[in-house]
Structure 1
């Protein structure tokens, strides 16, 4: 084994730490410098510069220590402990103003650094900054109340070391099963890792133990909104508002829940009340903009988004929200502002990603396709690296669906579910025209449009459970569809109908347009055998590239890499072919290009499939007034247009990796 492989370096780093602890500073410095010549890994270089700086400061070589810590900060200026160390070095060099700036940066990056808060209290006291002394002391008191294990968990969370934080937190909770703060921390880690069902259970359990715990209920509320569980969210926020009736964040959360429940007028009124009370918070204007866009008041939405970026010039979400109207055109000054902000080294990653996508849309609208693709590519690369998505896992999930959802399974268990015709599922890939199909069907007097509902995905997640060992082992679901109690299928079907009732109005049929449900058509067939499923399909290049240039709110991590999105499309085709083989006639495929070419024929096809009489309103879908919560909301409020079907061709020179995966010459 190579002597400089990571395990060997890790052990050497530990031995250097021991040298520092035993005051052998020269040995620690020499070994660190020697090791620096043996590794090119940026993370190891950062750790070694940190150890060198600490050893040099303890050895009272303060100027050398400052040089070393500055070398580290060139590599990673957001390293919280390096900023803290820089503060201690500046103190030793009798530079209190610089020290204060370093400590303030450190606690901004990682608010759990006790030593930085302690140092800041002394520095604020010297400058007689009473307000700052009080804030620092309050924060320090909160940290000191935490058990040492949870303080370590907090620090690891801020440093992004989530798996290590989860391990320590779980161990702590094994010995302190009713510790609500610990449960909240583990839930926060779960939310970051997208293990939402665990987080939801933890927070519900924490609230059973301590119903008055504001932080736990606030976390629970935000998670419910993220999961689209707006009815429960609305109940939770009322409890919070009883405890804190003037809390504007809770009022905003209530308005978000109302938006989700389709109570859009009430939501807009509440957003506007909050903005009237405090018009200096960019996020409040952004949320108001989203609600106005959902209602179709696009000019007012644009004004709200513009107000948000005027308050915060680096607010990526405001610029992306403008781009995401699909109809907004950026001015020269707005483009210049977005580009200038992208170069800000302190800009948060999320803002940077949003600004790249918005800039891409701005240049595409100006037909500057080279600049547009560069911007889209930069945004996608950052988002792809951040998401940690692995296409192999999706391909494995699809292989498991094909393996276990057999013709025999449906012959044996296919009549156990709930026999109601209510739901129409529109599935496929995002940006394949599903919003258009929903708008067409929801224009019928017998059909309610809703939104992308999370219920089927949530059920699949519960059936899957959490893998206990290697991440590549087979999950319990869908294998367990052949094994679970037969009575469960009708119960699951009834649960789906009950949980989605809140999104419906009076029509007998309703639409769930969550595209990812194509993965779970077998499950849908077992719990709701009379449901109708429409596969919204779009030609490969147009569909995949449209996904690549879209920054999704959540849940479409495959779309941020051209090869991944191509493989995902191929896997989707493979699974849809399987469903057509084992469930013939259960799914109707509707090609977007056919809808564009001959709208009325495709409208009649869909209405025949779902068992409805033809209504002209479905052809005149753009006249239908309803709330729409997807990026295509403005496009489906207009008549059919053909220009979008070939937009990808402007970018063809850059799409080689995608064409290769899709086997397109």
Structure 2
């Protein structure tokens, strides 16, 4: 939902460094073309450099300069050729390797870019900008820990490189290393108190550790430094939404749209906090934006989600379904999702735990008690996981930590398929408990609501015996319809945007849960969303009995609990339970018949 804005240290994409030697033009000739480049006279600079290259074809500096000119003109193919020529004529030219990396990154050839950055720093070990560029490329490839290392290396060489420090903070925040992220942004702002992006990013990090007033103040400071900063108003609105402060969230979204009237994402988010009436002036305006030919697919997607909500509010169910379908088509296209990776993962997990007795024979987890007993809340999105965690977090003995990536990252750090080993399980245990023990909370229980942890239940049972696993079950068609009509900001729900993919994924999820029940009988507590809405007190009491805790009235009055809920269910958990929420799909039944049949629903 939220955006992190990444600071850039310099405007020009390439570095020009003058050098003289045999078979090179004079310094005056070089300075004349550099002057044209710096003055923005790119066509003249290109022509002058080309003329000099004809006279001095072995002068690597000239190829480097023309590459920089081509890069500024947006001709990245030409730039890459020029930088390669500079390297061919001088294989020990670190700036040319760095510049080639920049051009290749622009062309989407990230791995080749990284290889050239590495060559640059092998020649010039104190080349901070090449380390910075390499960190950015590694980050974009999803190699997050490698990116962190390279940002830190940049800062060891150039401690005042605020671009690297800001980007490091953004990445640490994404990795849920929130305190470290706050430290980086604070250091940036100490050096540059007018860095609006850093205030915005600091706000995002502070909200993740529950420092509510400081986070809101940081967003406010971002807009004070940069009054037209629509994105900071948007992020403030998103946090107010998480906090259940509906009217204030709506006001922040409205301010973002005042500053940036075509802010498609803000229109989508605004739909979560307001109910549209047929004479709302925003409706024709959103439609006019969608009719434009010059908007991006990403904006078109957000606008379709927005109009889906508009049509739903107006009772126009056919139109709503069409808009949601159009939005999902564009989202799936952007993610380039195919079910192959999911199929492979489900297969690998089952194969690895097929002979669960072998695993039990090779590994026994240490017997020491948990400092904080983990409660894994798992299930499909939109099944009631946020509601369940909010009920639990309303108990005096339970801290609600939200969606943690820790366990999945621990598994992925040591296992990629094949036999599960004792060493892997011990490493997973140590990494997860180290993260839990770092959390400065007084409650003896701590929830982890990463719903995708259902995939790792075998690892949880083996590495963390005694941990609690609460599986939320909701009627399949209700859950799937709710998934289909909502936008997920992360990349981990690619199956959600196509009804066929959704039906297949849901069936695989159910098969895997059945598999875990067979392999680890009694380890999973199944908690029915529908039963909860029918008999709240009894079901809540039974859930707490499973945890060994007494019922507290605060768990019944969960809607009064003040805490941030950073999911699309934020507003739902602020209301009392009501019956019938699992019947909303019936308004769209005619459009969902293939999915209903795939799910085996009546």
TM-score higher than 0.5 = yes
Counterpart in 1 of 2:538?
A: 601
Q: Distance in 1 between matches of 2:102 and 2:294?
A: 22
Answer yes or no: is the 8 Å Cα contact 1:417–1:493 preserved in 2.
no
Instruction: Return 388-397 or 483-492, whichever deviates more.
Output: 483-492
Q: Distance in 1 between matches of 2:275 and 2:443?
A: 32
| Deviation at residue 209 of structure 1 after TM alignment | 4.5
Q: Distance in 2 between matches of 1:417 and 1:389?
A: 42
RMSD over equivalenced CA pairs, Å: 2.8
1:560 aligns with 2:497: yes
State TM-score, norm by structure 2. Answer: 0.79
Deviation string 1:557-615 (CA, Å, 9 cap, x unpaired) is 22111111111111111111121112111111112111111111210121011110111
Q: Secondary structure at the match of 1:481?
A: coil
Q: Secondary structure at the match of 2:488?
A: coil
Answer yes or no: is the 8 Å Cα contact 2:379–2:473 preserved in 1.
yes
The structure-2 alpha-carbon separation of the partners of 1:304 and 1:481, relative to structure 1 and needing over 3 Å to count, comes to: same
Q: Secondary structure at the match of 2:487?
A: coil
Counterpart in 2 of 1:48?
A: none
Deviation string 1:442-475 (CA, Å, 9 cap, x unpaired) is 11111111211111122123224xxxxxxxxxx3
Q: Secondary structure at the match of 1:630?
A: coil
Q: Distance in 2 between matches of 1:513 and 1:249?
A: 30
The structure whose residues are more often helix, as a share, is: 1
Counterpart in 1 of 2:522?
A: 585
| Deviation at residue 633 of structure 1 after TM alignment | 1.1
The 5 A counterparts of 1:428-507 are 428-464=379-415, 475=416, 477=417, 479=418, 481-484=420-423, 487-499=426-438, 501-502=439-440, 505-507=441-443
Counterpart in 2 of 1:211?
A: 159
Match of 2:115 among 163, 167, 170: 170
Deviation string 1:27-46 (CA, Å, 9 cap, x unpaired) is xxxxxxxxxxxxxxxxxxxx
The structure-2 alpha-carbon separation of the partners of 1:172 and 1:370, relative to structure 1 and needing over 3 Å to count, comes to: same
| Deviation at residue 181 of structure 1 after TM alignment | 3.3
Match of 1:407 among 332, 346, 356: 356
Match of 1:508 among 444, 461, 481: 444
The 5 A counterparts of 1:301-320 are 301-320=249-268
Answer yes or no: is the 8 Å Cα contact 2:477–2:596 preserved in 1.
yes
The structure-2 alpha-carbon separation of the partners of 1:352 and 1:250, relative to structure 1 and needing over 3 Å to count, comes to: same
Q: Distance in 1 between matches of 2:158 and 2:235?
A: 30
Q: Distance in 2 between matches of 1:119 and 1:193?
A: 23
The structure-2 alpha-carbon separation of the partners of 1:486 and 1:633, relative to structure 1 and needing over 3 Å to count, comes to: closer
Counterpart in 1 of 2:38?
A: none
Size of the alignment, in residue pairs?
516
The structure-2 alpha-carbon separation of the partners of 1:202 and 1:612, relative to structure 1 and needing over 3 Å to count, comes to: same
Q: Distance in 1 between matches of 2:332 and 2:534?
A: 35
1:640 aligns with 2:554: no
Q: Distance in 2 between matches of 1:562 and 1:170?
A: 41
The structure-2 alpha-carbon separation of the partners of 1:201 and 1:662, relative to structure 1 and needing over 3 Å to count, comes to: farther
State TM-score, norm by structure 1. Answer: 0.72
Counterpart in 1 of 2:334?
A: 386
Counterpart in 1 of 2:142?
A: 194
Q: Secondary structure at the match of 1:590?
A: strand
Q: Distance in 1 between matches of 2:503 and 2:141?
A: 25
Q: Distance in 1 between matches of 2:594 and 2:95?
A: 51
The 5 A counterparts of 1:352-371 are 352-371=300-319
The structure-2 alpha-carbon separation of the partners of 1:353 and 1:586, relative to structure 1 and needing over 3 Å to count, comes to: same
Counterpart in 1 of 2:511?
A: 574
Answer yes or no: is the 8 Å Cα contact 2:517–2:523 preserved in 1.
yes
Answer yes or no: is the 8 Å Cα contact 2:425–2:459 preserved in 1.
no
The structure-2 alpha-carbon separation of the partners of 1:167 and 1:597, relative to structure 1 and needing over 3 Å to count, comes to: same
The structure-2 alpha-carbon separation of the partners of 1:189 and 1:650, relative to structure 1 and needing over 3 Å to count, comes to: farther
| Deviation at residue 644 of structure 1 after TM alignment | 2.1
Answer yes or no: is the 8 Å Cα contact 2:237–2:248 preserved in 1.
yes
Q: Secondary structure at the match of 1:511?
A: strand
| Deviation at residue 549 of structure 1 after TM alignment | 0.9
| Deviation at residue 416 of structure 1 after TM alignment | 3.6
1:627 aligns with 2:549: no
Q: Distance in 2 between matches of 1:266 and 1:192?
A: 30
Counterpart in 2 of 1:75?
A: none
Q: Distance in 2 between matches of 1:171 and 1:157?
A: 10
Answer yes or no: is the 8 Å Cα contact 1:537–1:591 preserved in 2.
yes
Q: Distance in 2 between matches of 1:385 and 1:187?
A: 27
Q: Distance in 1 between matches of 2:209 and 2:389?
A: 18
1:223 aligns with 2:171: yes
Q: Distance in 1 between matches of 2:565 and 2:116?
A: 45
Q: Secondary structure at the match of 2:207?
A: helix
Q: Distance in 2 between matches of 1:565 and 1:119?
A: 40
Q: Distance in 2 between matches of 1:169 and 1:193?
A: 10
| Deviation at residue 528 of structure 1 after TM alignment | 2.2
Counterpart in 1 of 2:69?
A: 114
1:661 aligns with 2:598: yes
Q: Distance in 2 between matches of 1:330 and 1:233?
A: 44
Answer yes or no: is the 8 Å Cα contact 1:308–1:315 preserved in 2.
yes
| Deviation at residue 205 of structure 1 after TM alignment | 4.2
Answer yes or no: is the 8 Å Cα contact 1:376–1:549 preserved in 2.
yes
Counterpart in 1 of 2:95?
A: 147
| Deviation at residue 342 of structure 1 after TM alignment | 2.0
Q: Distance in 2 between matches of 1:537 and 1:200?
A: 38
Answer yes or no: is the 8 Å Cα contact 1:255–1:268 preserved in 2.
yes
The structure-2 alpha-carbon separation of the partners of 1:457 and 1:490, relative to structure 1 and needing over 3 Å to count, comes to: closer
Counterpart in 1 of 2:56?
A: none
Q: Distance in 2 between matches of 1:552 and 1:169?
A: 30
Answer yes or no: is the 8 Å Cα contact 1:493–1:528 preserved in 2.
no
Match of 2:282 among 326, 334, 355: 334
Q: Secondary structure at the match of 1:448?
A: strand
Match of 2:373 among 422, 429, 435: 422
Answer yes or no: is the 8 Å Cα contact 1:450–1:512 preserved in 2.
yes
Match of 2:203 among 255, 267, 271: 255
Answer yes or no: is the 8 Å Cα contact 1:156–1:165 preserved in 2.
yes
Answer yes or no: is the 8 Å Cα contact 1:427–1:513 preserved in 2.
yes
Answer yes or no: is the 8 Å Cα contact 2:531–2:539 preserved in 1.
yes
Answer yes or no: is the 8 Å Cα contact 1:427–1:533 preserved in 2.
yes
